[in-house]
């Protein structure tokens, strides 16, 4: 497995895997799959650059991703949001998600991030276990955070602190 930041050339592969995660797990992500697929490639390249998306490559295929972005402005540049964590079902339980999360934390730490935040659907026990084992703790619940197909999803907010 190889973990590296995605570049513009990876935008088509990222579009494919992101569409897959949004369709397979609508409860886990805040973005709608059809809205995502309506975006043009240049916009996806901007998101890869701005969001700094890390990819896990297994046998030459993009098998997992996670993104991070830093808060804007002097007062928020120590805070990063982690988003878009996904590993394809056929490659799960092999450590890809943990490796991706560590790579995102390490890369953001290198540019001065000291607080990491993320949201996770309240019944997503696999992801919760992963995040707790990497030092994240729940500090709040956002009720009715996402609505789709007549469903409503509650999201737990978690943070990790460099000095904890
Ligand atoms: C959650 C997800 C990213 C984990 O990916 P993964 O590559 O299988 O995870 P890893 O192999 O790196 O496992 C890391 C830890 O996560 C936890 N974990 C992962 N899958 C688990 C499962 N099915 N049951 C219980 N714990 C699990 C464990 O603590 C595991 O550590 P361990 O192997 O030492 O026990 C993956 O299941 C996924 O993509 N799920 C759908 C999308 C999603 O929910 N994304 C998160 C949005 S917040």
Q: Which residues, in sequence order, are CB contacts of 35 under 8 Å at separation 6+?
A: none
Q: Whose CA is nearest to atom 4 of ligand 1?
A: 97
* Tens-digit pLDDT string for the chain (164 aa): 999 999 999 999 999 999 999 999 999 999 999 999 999 999 999 888 877 999 999 999 999 999 999 999 999 999 999 999 999 999 999 999 999 999 999 999 999 999 999 999 999 999 999 999 999 999 999 999 999 999 999 999 999 999 87
93 CB less than 6 Å from ligand 1?
yes
> Which residue in the block uniquely carries the two structure tokens 């469903």?
151
Q: Which two tokens stand for residue 162?
A: 């460099």
Query: Does the CB atom of residue 126 touch ligand 1 within 6 A?
Result: yes
Q: Where are the domains of the chain?
A: 2-161
User: Would you say the pTM of this structure is higher than 0.85?
Assistant: yes
Mutate to test the pocket of ligand 1, among 56, 57, 97 (most ligand atoms within 8 A of CB): 97
- Containing 17, the helix (H) or strand (E) segment is helix 11-24
Domain 2-161 is found in CATH 3.40.50.300: no
For residues 122 and 21, give the distance between their C-alpha atoms in angstroms, rounded to a whole number: 18
């Amino acid at each position: 497995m190889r973990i590296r930041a995605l570049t513009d050339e990876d935008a088509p592969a990222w579009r494919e895997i992101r569409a897959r995660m949004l369709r397979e797990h609508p409860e886990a992500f805040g973005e709608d799959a059809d809205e995502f697929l309506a975006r043009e490639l240049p916009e996806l390249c901007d998101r890869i650059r701005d969001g700094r998306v890390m990819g896990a490559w297994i046998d030459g295929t993009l098998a997992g991703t996670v993104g991070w972005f830093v808060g804007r402005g002097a007062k928020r540049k120590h805070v990063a949001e982690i988003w878009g964590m996904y590993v394809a079902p056929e490659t799960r339980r092999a450590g890809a998600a943990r490796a991706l999360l560590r790579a995102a934390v390490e890369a953001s730490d290198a540019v001065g991030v000291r607080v990491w935040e993320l949201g996770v659907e309240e019944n997503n026990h696999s992801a919760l276990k992963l995040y707790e084992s990497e030092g994240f703790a729940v500090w709040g619940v956002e009720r009715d955070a996402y609505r789709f197909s007549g469903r409503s999803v509650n999201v737990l907010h978690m943070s990790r602190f460099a000095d904890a």
